Amino acid sequence: MNSAFGQIAKPLYLLVAGGSLVAGVVGMVLPLVPTTPFLLLAAWAGGRGSPRFQRWLCGHPYLGPPIQSWRREGAVSRSAKVIATLMLAASWVWLAVLAMPVVGLVIAAFGFAGVAIFLWSRPLPSTEQVDVTE
């Protein structure tokens, strides 16, 4: 990366990382706003903008473990899957309550179902896997 581009890119990566972190934290409490994708984006951009930010985020006691599980195993915890699925369902109901046109509800249903299918197809982190041979 040349120095002129690097001087511009680092702050932009940090801006993306900070914005994604805020969006991820907001997503913990608001339906329709995902958490994990924003945290993963924050970790990726943070690593390019500031290794210190990335170390902080990945080492955070609450935010770090899902990022580490995803990076290490492509895994998502069962609790994250359940919460995400419930949030997707609540978001769809909220769209219906807001009287979204039927076409929009159908498109949202397919999109939400696709996200849920992808999410549930991911393995559990090795720390959550149970040995069924016992």
Domain ranges of the chain: 3-121
| Angle value at C-alpha 46, between 45 and 49, nearest 5 degrees | 90
Q: 25 near 11, Cβ under 8 Å?
A: no
Rounded Cα distance between 69 and 34, Å, is: 17
CA distance 34 to 20: 10
Phi-psi region of 118 (alpha: psi -120 to 50; beta: other; left: phi over 0): alpha
- The model's pTM: 0.70
What DSSP designation does 29 have?
T
SS (H, E, C) 107-132: HHHHHHHHHHHHHHHCCCCCCCCCCC
C-alpha 55/C-alpha 53 separation (Å) is: 5
Per residue of the chain (134 residues), what is the pLDDT tens digit? 556 666 778 889 989 999 999 988 888 887 667 777 888 889 888 888 888 888 898 899 988 888 888 888 999 889 888 888 888 898 899 999 998 999 999 999 999 999 899 999 999 998 876 655 55
